[in-house]
Amino acid sequence: MDRYFEKISFEQFKKDIKNDRKLYEEYQLPVRKTKHSAGYDFKAIEDFEIAPGEVKKIPTGYKAKYLEDEMLIIVVRSSVGFKYNVRMTNQVGIIDSDFYNNEENEGHMFVSLQNEGDKVFKVKKGEGYAQGIFVKYLTCGEEVDTKRTSWTGNPKKEGNENE
């Protein structure tokens, strides 16, 4: 299989979510709803709410493995944007193939959502809120010989002037 989702380890789950073996064992990996769906639905591990104006970082419990010339694009489900005016804070998430099993967090993906609507946005455990789409990409042919050692997008790390 060239691409797939898998759960983060229970050790990473305890760090990022909570020490709850039952919760770890019962949450589901992303799936497509229909034969022609492009996106794999990301479903809530637990109930959550986002108040108007609030931003919430949602742990997915997932990491994804795919080919080197592919990326995973994460977007909110279209119904979430249309019905509730909830958006990803970075608008579109792009996960590079070398994010998988990185040293910092095993490649655990998070989704940061902001409620720009006027009502509380509520998601029940098991409901979809975002989706991931695998996409091939092209390069200019340049050689880059750098290996990812950590997630460089962490704004809490000192010296990261890009965030």
Mean pLDDT computed over every residue of the chain? 91
| Torsion angles phi and psi, residue 157, rounded to 5 | -75, 135
pLDDT of 161 reads: 42
Please give the share of the chain, as a percent, with pLDDT higher than 90: 85
Per domain, the residue ranges of the chain are 4-136
What pLDDT does residue 143 have?
80
Model confidence pLDDT, tens digit, residues 65-113: 999 999 999 999 999 999 999 999 999 999 999 999 999 999 999 999 9
Longest CA pairwise span in the chain (Å): 49
Q: What pairs with residue 6 in β-bridges?
A: 63
Q: Is there a contact between 86 and 114 (Cβ–Cβ < 8 Å)?
A: yes
User: Is the CB of residue 130 less than 8 Å from the CB of residue 77?
Assistant: yes
pLDDT band with cut points at 50, 70 and 90 for residue 151: low
Give tens-digit pLDDT for 106-138: 999 999 999 999 999 999 999 999 999 999 999
Question: Residue 79 has which token pair?
Answer: 């119904």
pTM value is 0.86
Topology of domain 4-136 in CATH is: Deoxyuridine 5'-Triphosphate Nucleotidohydrolase; Chain A (2.70.40)
Q: Are residues 110 and 57 in contact, defined by beta-carbon separation less than 8 angstroms?
A: yes
